[in-house]
Amino acid sequence: LPSTSDTRSSPLSAAGEPPRGPVDARVVPRYAGISTFARLPQLAEVDRFDVAVVGIPFDSGTTYRPGARFGPSAIRQGSRLLRTYNAAMDTEPFGRLQVVDAGDITCNPFDIQEAIGQIEPGVATLLAGGASVVALGGDHTIALPMLRAVCARFGQVHLLHFDAHLDTWDTYFGASYTHGTPFRRAVEEGLLSRTGNVHVGIRGSLYAATDLSEDAALGFEVIGATAFDQEPLPSIVGRIRARLGDAPVYVSVDIDVLDPAHAPATGTPEAGGLTSREVLALVRGLRGVRVVSADIVEVAPAYDHAEITSIAAANVAYELLTLLTDRER
């Protein structure tokens, strides 16, 4: 396939070559060809890479609507319109470092523990040598093995978590590993600092007030969806940045942080959410924060209309990749 590489601001790779960029949509129409994220090269097409996009098609940890196992392919399809120049950030993310689509990590749909045990080494392999990873879920269960691999590589991290839900519940039907429990497990395992974690977009009904007090005891700050009714967005960005500080940061984006008007295709939708414009602005506001890896999860395309959700998710992933390629490594 023909490809184009941005050389506008690109440092050369160790081999002296500029990064291999996406297929040029002015040569091959963007609706043609197999789907990689943003039409980036596949892993086998490059000698080395700095940032990997990887699909994790696992949804056996879901508690309501299933279907996020189809998220990776839907987000890739929704990413076909992404172009190489990020105008909002004045940068060309795929020209600065080598970004690659590493395909999907195969994991057992019938055994959650085994799947977690497959995801962690799959991610660790990509992280070896200093690369960062953006995972396309899959349900939120995948954040736990992502965090295990990321912490093994970068040490304990601060978590920036966009979600309608806390995801710090203890068990569901007696199960400790579900899409509602990954961040309690992560704290218990020492993967997260207790001083730098923040949830953004939390809303909706809970089981009890203790859901919130237990979450606070685990060391999380909550910036709920209603904060956006009163507080200007730059002020919220400032609070998030102050909380994250200079530590390595993992960003986990549950697409249900968006209002169902902006993301209908998700497993546990809640009314009263953020707009896609707000979430994109929040991610852009992280420029300079030490983001080391990220995920975007819970896209369940069977409930989508006109690719609303998968396009939103693809654009969030593009902003995450912009952050990861913004710092020289």
**Which residues sit at the interface with Mn ion, rule CB under 5 A?**
140, 163, 167, 254
Q: Measured from the CB of residue 54, what is the shortest distance to Mn ion in angstroms?
A: 19
Shortest distance in whole angstroms from residue 50 CB to Mn ion: 28
- Kindly tell me which of 140 and 148 has the beta carbon lying closer to Mn ion: 140
- In whole angstroms, how close is the CB of 254 to Mn ion at the nearest point? 4
CB of 52 or CB of 143, closer to Mn ion: 143
Residue 124 C-beta: closest distance to Mn ion, Å: 23
| Amino acid identity, position 254 | D
In the bound complex, what is the minimum distance in angstroms from residue 131's beta carbon to Mn ion?
25
d(CA 311, CA 299) in angstroms, rounded, equals 10
| Residue 34 C-beta: closest distance to Mn ion, Å | 29
Residue with smaller CB distance to Mn ion, 101 or 254: 254
Burial of 88 (0-12, 13-18, 19+ CB in 10 A): exposed
* Closer by beta carbon to Mn ion, 167 or else 278: 167
Contact between 225 and 187 under an 8 Å Cβ cutoff? The reply is no
Residue 101 or residue 163: which is nearer to Mn ion going by CB?
163
> Cβ(134)–Cβ(320) under 8 Å?
yes
Query: Looking at beta carbons only, is 163 or 295 nearer to Mn ion?
Result: 163
Instruction: Copy the structure tokens of residue 127.
Output: 């992280």
Q: Which residue has the tokens 């400032």?
A: 238
> Smallest Cα–Cα separation from 70: which of 269, 321, 313, 324?
313
List C-alpha distances in Å: 12 to 6, 92, 329.
11, 14, 13
Mention every residue, 6+ apart, whose C-beta is less than 8 A from residue 100: 40, 41, 42, 43, 45, 46, 49, 51, 52, 53
